[in-house]
Amino acid sequence: MDSRAQKYGPLDSSSSPELVLYSYWQSSCSWRVRFALNLKGLSYQYRAVNLAKGEQFSPDFEKLNPLHYVPVLIDGDVVVSDSYAVILYLEEKYPNIPLLPVDPQLRAINLQAASIVSSSIQPLHMLSLLADVFLAPQIAVATTRFKIDMSKFPVLNMIYEACRRLPEFQASLPDRQPDAGPSSTK
């Protein structure tokens, strides 16, 4: 058993362990994992980590992720952090509803777009199908937090609008999370 998961003991007494997601409602990285979990139809237990209060620096959380960031996914004895790694893990472990195309070229394009968001775009606005999962939350942040007019980017706007209509995306919205702040509208 992974020593980071030992503290929590068995997560589920059934034969298949329950997924546990450590998340913060305003984290776009956590949002993309929630969206991927919802698209794959995977149920999970939500555990809030309040970044504004520094809960990511608690000794218990540090055992899960010494880098002190969310999301962190626990799947039985497996502990995975970083949204890109978590989503790739989910894609491999739970292939029934794929997020990536089978065609190698299309798969590579999706991974490239996800990598660009994760490595190049994401760091610009954070204080410290797969491509769509990465793009939609970032586009939402760009339009709401940074007031960017997405009509100038028709392809990105089309992706966002298509995702926005999905119940899986709606369920993953930050203000619909159990730890959403009082200023959010549920």
**CA atoms of 185 and 118, how far apart (whole Å):** 27
Beta strand extents in the chain (DSSP E only): 19-23, 44-48, 72-75, 78-81
User: Which two tokens mark 127?
Assistant: 């204080």
For residue 54, give the amino acid letter: G
**CA atoms of 123 and 135, how far apart (whole Å):** 14
DSSP state string for 28-61: HHHHHHHHHHHHTT--EEEEE--GGGTGGGSHHH
What average pLDDT score do residues 37-41 get?
96
CATH architecture of 3-176: 3-Layer(aba) Sandwich (3.40)
How do residues 80-109 score in pLDDT, each as one tens digit?
Answer: 999 999 999 999 999 999 999 999 999 999
Q: Which of 72-86, 90-104, 147-161 has the lowest mean pLDDT?
A: 147-161
Q: Is 72 helix (H, G, I), strand (E, B) or coil?
A: strand
Q: What pLDDT sits at residue 4?
A: 39
For the chain, which residues make up each domain, given as ranges? 3-176
Q: In Å, what is the CA distance from 49 to each residue of 87, 107, 117, 127, 131?
A: 19, 32, 23, 16, 26
